[in-house]
Structure 1
Amino acid sequence: MIRIHLTAADFAGIRFAPRAAPLLELNTALMKLLTPGDELLFGRWRRRSLRSLPAAVEALGDLVPAGRAPGFLDVFDDSLEEGLDAAREWRPDEVRSEIERVYAGHPAPPPLWVRDLHRGEAGAWRVLRRAQHTAFDSVLRPVWPVVRDLHQREFTRHALAVAEHGLGAALAGLVPGARLLGSVWELPGARERDVEPGGRGLVLRPTFHWNGHPLVSDLPGRPVHVTFPAGPGLPIAPPLTPSGPDDPDRQEEALARVLGRTRCEMLILLAEEHTTSGLARRLGVSNATASAHAAALRGAGLVTTVRAGRAVLHRRTAMGSLLAGRPAPARGASG
């Protein structure tokens, strides 16, 4: 349960975000991609989106090593370019503290680029910016007009609820399980948490790629942001063309019946070079499981494996590309 303790100043400062925030929506979309479950509704969207993510996006996974994201990824600007610059506004000591927090107790040390980010090196900030921009282009840009329309409808719905029933009723009805008890707004949450804005106010933000419990960002000196699931509760996708015998989805289903789902997805991912750990992260399996599947595909002549320093790199062969029914792109290493 999340309990937000509101003062009179907080009540006066509650507002509904007028526009969708690109990087906030991206964060929730990536969370949904990496959260197992809802296979019937989200399985195909999840597999298709994960396969289409360019290698540059994997840097974002390095910043969330144990499901905890650093605060400087909480970006609420409604302009993509301004949002991409927002993390640089954090003080160097705050950035270091957040990286240390998310890696505390993690068995593996941070990758080199994260250590560079910890030191404040400009090149590491460029890695982060490229990862966020690339992820947005891959996951959200095709559906961003739909997200904006959904946000405007949610904004209008909330405004009408406040006008007809008052702010208290609107807060209590924001999500199932919410209630207002005096000056305490209770929301369902994954763990017990008390939040005290202390006059900083609240910003309510709908998201359309997350259907879990509300998310609360409580950063010092900033309003508290409450992100809640809204919209139809289904994955947003561009319109699909009618399928035929050459439809990639139908070909994929046939291939999955022969190879198994995980090996099929691995073969499709290996149109680009990946490390074993990179494959494991994309497929949601352990490194040992990813290595075993790669070995099976290699034994069938569908994948090649080479060692580069301490990394093991996998890429599908020409036979693998022929079986996958998709030509491999120009050669270029990925993580």
Structure 2
Amino acid sequence: MGALRIHFTAEDFARIRFAPRPVPLQELHAALTTAVTPAGGPLFAAWRGRVLRSLPAAADPLADLAPAGRPPSFLDVLGDTLADGFDRIRATAPGTLRSELERVYGAAPAPRWIRDLHADDGAAWRTLRHAQRAAYETVLAPVWPVVQDLHREEFTRYALAAAEHGTAAALTGLAPGSRLREGVWEWPGAAPARDVRLDGRGLLLLPTFHHPAGPLLHDAPHRPAVLTYPAGPGLPPVAGHPAAPAEALAAVLGRTRLDALRLLAEPRTTSGLARALGVSNATASSQAAALRTAGLAATTRTGRSVTHRRTALGALLAGGGPP
């Protein structure tokens, strides 16, 4: 089994940053990658089918950029808006543009517009911009407010963990099963196996809510590495997704347990869950344990702190919304 190993220096720990807001193009590329791979299992099947059926023909050129699932690295840019992100892609050095397209296609024949892009043709760049806009409007625009809310929650969770428990605990909390020791953050199960040495460049942490299958690391020379990692409830956000009728769920789970499930849309300690429910810590712990046994919630421990959060299955049952 592979592992991602990120090697930090003392200077790198001082240069860890958390993206203050979601990045439209990075989130779009994560969503499109998930749409064309089996990542996420059966919980993603309905979403994947909707996305693939709804993508307009104008977005088809994006598939040409990743004929073997290996998109060119110049697509990995940061930018607060779609236009800003595209401008950064458009600023790719011609040598990098050509070498990356040649890496992606090798000796295989490329479509005409890709050959034009390789030649830095203006019409080919407009084709790419139009395709990204069409895909964004279909896949992300309807749920972008939800993505922004989820990002704020993840930002706050990381900041509180770092303030209360330190950087090491905050980092390993992003990746269950990961560990940080002797300056190396190891994330088991990542494929392919990879060692990345930051050497003082620092690391930018960027959550994604559309890619459930492990970390995506962009490691450009002379720039901070960007780690895009799966976060959120484990299911792609869906605009206007209806929750199951409250009374029907309450009849199955019980009112207190249903309230607990909905409250766990956000991570909560046992005492925090107890306060929100208006019950004792023992009762809150019992409710969380019952949800965990049913696969509706997960519990993580950081030092002495125990935190509960609902799983993808729990979010699906509750409808993915707040209480």
Structures share fold, TM-score greater than 0.5? yes
What is the aligned residue count? 240
Give the secondary structure class of the aligned counterpart of 2:234.
coil
- Structure 1 counterpart of 2:9, from 7, 10, 16: 7
**Comparing 36-45 with 109-118, which one deviates more in the overlay?**
36-45
Percent identity for Structure 1 against Structure 2:
57
What is the alpha-carbon root mean square deviation over aligned residues? Answer: 1.4
- Quote the residue 1:19 is aligned against: 21
Are the equivalent residues in 2 in contact too, given 1:41–1:235 (CA < 8 A)?
Answer: no
Question: Conserved in 1, the CA contact under 8 Å of 2:39 and 2:212?
Answer: no
Which is further off, 110-119 or 174-183? 174-183
Is the 8 Å Cα contact of residues 39 and 213 (structure 2) preserved in structure 1?
A: no
Q: Which residue of 1 aligns with 2:86?
A: 84
Cα displacement (A) at 1:118: 0.4
Whole-angstrom CA distance in 1 between matches of 2:124 and 2:231: 34
1:39 shift after superposition? 5.1
* Equivalent-residue separation in structure 2 for 1:131 and 1:187 (angstroms): 34
Task: Kindly indicate whether the alpha-carbon contact (under 8 Å) linking 1:180 and 1:186 is maintained by their aligned counterparts in 2.
Answer: yes
| SS in structure 2 of the partner of residue 160 of structure 1 | helix
Q: Any conservation in 2 of the 1:14–1:204 contact (CA below 8 Å)?
A: yes
**What is the CA–CA distance in structure 1 between the aligned matches of 2:219 and 2:146, rounded to whole Å?**
28
Contact 2:208 2:229 in 1 (8 A): yes
Counterpart amino acid of residue 159 in structure 2: A
Q: Deviations over 1:152-178 (max 9, x none)?
A: 000000000001100011112211121
Note if contact 1:2-1:193 (Cα within 8 Å) is conserved in structure 2.
yes
Aligned partner of 2:135 in structure 1 is 135
Aligned position for 2:166:
166
Q: Secondary structure at the match of 1:41?
A: helix
Q: Which residue of 1 aligns with 2:218?
A: 217
User: Partners in 2 of 1:237 and 1:172 — Cα distance?
Assistant: 28
Distance (whole Å) between structure 2 residues aligned to residue 69 and residue 20 of structure 1: 20
* Matching of residues 80-119 of structure 1 within 5 Å: 80-104=82-106, 108-119=108-119
Cα pair 2:205 2:226 within 8 Å, conserved: yes
> After the TM superposition, which residues 52-67 of structure 1 pair with which residues of structure 2 at under 5 Å, given as runs?
52-67=54-69
Give the 3 Å change call, closer, same or farther, for CA 3–139 of structure 1 in structure 2: same
Secondary structure of the corresponding residue to residue 228 of structure 1:
strand
Residue 117 of structure 1 aligns to a residue whose secondary structure is helix
Give distance in 1, aligned partners of 2:242 and 2:178. 40
In structure 1, how many angstroms separate the alpha carbons of the residues matched to 2:84 and 2:40?
Answer: 33
2:284 alignment counterpart: none
Deviations 1:216-267 (A, max 9, x none): 000122210001100000121111479xxxxxxxxxxxxxxxxxxxxxxxxx
Residues 235 and 166 of structure 1: CA distance in aligned 2, closer, same or farther (over 3 Å) = same
User: After TM superposition, which residue ranges in structure 1, 4 or more long, deviate above 6 angstroms?
Assistant: none
Q: What code does the residue aligned with 2:121 have?
A: E
The 2-side partners of 1:91 and 1:64 are apart by 20
Deviation at 1:96, TM superposition (A): 0.2
Q: Is the 8 A contact 2:40 2:213 kept in 1?
A: no
Q: Which residue pairs with 1:291 in the alignment?
A: none
1:55-100 C-alpha deviation (Å, 9 max, x unpaired): 1111011010111110111122122210111111111000000001
Q: Counterparts of 1:62 and 1:222 in 2: how far apart (Å)? A: 27
Name the aligned partner's letter for residue 240 of structure 2: P
Larger mean Cα displacement after TM superposition, 111-120 or 34-43: 34-43
Question: Taking structure 1 as the reference length, what is the TM-score of the superposition?
Answer: 0.69
Which runs of no fewer than 5 residues in structure 2 stay unpaired?
A: 244-323
SS class of match (2:68): coil
Which amino acid in structure 1 is aligned with residue 150 of structure 2?
L
User: For residues 215 and 242 of structure 2, what CA distance do their matches in structure 1 show?
Assistant: 34
